[in-house]
Amino acid sequence: MKSIPNRPAISDVLVKASANYAFRDKLLRNSREALAGMNLPQEDYEILSRVQASSLKDYARQLKVRLLLDYAG
């Protein structure tokens, strides 16, 4: 299985979402608003803001799939 390169900004968002209920709720309801002002690299912002999920577990799963597809090419 191909590994995903380290993406510190994406990891930081996931850690914040797991520790902060208000941020997690906003991320799942309106990711662009939740991510605004976080000073993320544009590529990471685009990846994170395209995920649509109802739970953090599903958000992380979808994110992993997107990253694997991006690095498979």
User: Model confidence over 29-67: pLDDT tens digits?
Assistant: 999 999 998 999 999 999 999 999 999 999 999 999 988
N-term to C-term CA, the chain? 14
DSSP code, position 7: -
What angle in degrees, to the nearest 10, is found between the helix axes of 56-72 and 42-50?
130
- pTM value is 0.87
The full set of domain ranges for the chain reads 8-72
pLDDT tens track for 3-32: 666 889 999 999 999 999 999 999 999 999
